A = this chain, B = another copy of it.
Amino acid sequence: MACTINVNLPESSYEIQIAPSTLDKLGEYMSKLELGRKVLIVSNPTVFELYGARVVNSLEANNYQVFTCILPDGESYKNLDSIKEIYDACIEHRLERSSTLVALGGGVIGDMTGFAAATYLRGINFIQAPTTLLAMVDSSIGGKTGVNHPKGKNLIGAFYQPKFVLIDPEVLQTLPEREFRAGMAEVIKYGVIWDAEFFAQMEASTHLDSIKTISPELLETIIKLSCQAKADVVGQDEREAGLRAILNYGHTIGHAVESLTGYTEVIHGEAVGIGMVAAGEMAAELGMWTKAETERQNHLIAKAGLLTHLPKINIDEIITAIQIDKKVRDGKVRFILPTQIGKVEITNEVPTDTIRSVLNNLQRM
> What is the count of identical protomers in the complex?
2
Residues of chain B within 8 A (CB-CB) of A120 are 155-156
Segment of A23-31, A291-299, A324-332 in the binding face? A324-332
Of B37, B87, B324, B331, the residue contacting A156 (CB under 8 A) is B87
> Is A356 at the interface (CB under 8 A from chain B)?
no
Residues of chain B within 8 A (CB-CB) of A155 are 87, 91, 120-121
Known: A80-B80, A158-B158. A121 touches B326 (CB 8 A): yes
Give the distance in Å from the alpha carbon of A122 to the alpha carbon of B145 in the complex. 8
Q: Are B324 and A98 in contact (CB under 8 A)?
A: no
A213 to chain B, nearest CB (A): 38
Q: Are A329 and B96 in contact (CB under 8 A)?
A: yes
Q: Are B37 and A324 in contact (CB under 8 A)?
A: no
Give the distance in Å from the alpha carbon of A123 to the alpha carbon of B154 in the complex. 12
Give the distance in Å from the alpha carbon of A36 to the alpha carbon of B330 in the complex. 7
Q: Are A122 and B159 in contact (CB under 8 A)?
A: yes
> Is A97 at the interface (CB under 8 A from chain B)?
yes
| Nearest B residue to A84, CB-CB | B80
A320-342 CB contacts (< 8 Å) to partner B: 323-324, 326, 328-331
Q: Are A158 and B87 in contact (CB under 8 A)?
A: no
> Is A129 at the interface (CB under 8 A from chain B)?
no
> Is A146 at the interface (CB under 8 A from chain B)?
yes
> Is A144 at the interface (CB under 8 A from chain B)?
yes
Give the distance in Å from the alpha carbon of A239 to the alpha carbon of B120 in the complex. 14
Give the distance in Å from the alpha carbon of A155 to the alpha carbon of B87 in the complex. 9
Of B94, B144, B152, B323, the residue contacting A122 (CB under 8 A) is B144
Of B36, B87, B123, B330, the residue contacting A159 (CB under 8 A) is B123
> Is A311 at the interface (CB under 8 A from chain B)?
no
Give the distance in Å from the alpha carbon of A244 to the alpha carbon of B156 in the complex. 28
Residues of chain B within 8 A (CB-CB) of A152 are 91
A75-111 CB contacts (< 8 Å) to partner B: 80, 84, 87, 91, 94, 96-98
> Is A361 at the interface (CB under 8 A from chain B)?
no
| A interface with B by C-beta (< 8 Å) | 36-37, 80, 84, 87, 91, 94, 96-98, 115, 118-123, 144, 146, 149, 151-152, 154-159, 239, 323-324, 326, 328-331
Task: Please provide the 5 A-B residue pairs with the shortest distance between their CB atoms, ordered closest to farther.
Answer: A122-B157, A121-B326, A91-B151, A96-B328, A119-B156
4 extra interface residue pairs, beta carbon distance < 8 Å, beyond A97-B326, A119-B156, A120-B156: A91-B155, A96-B328, A118-B158, A122-B157
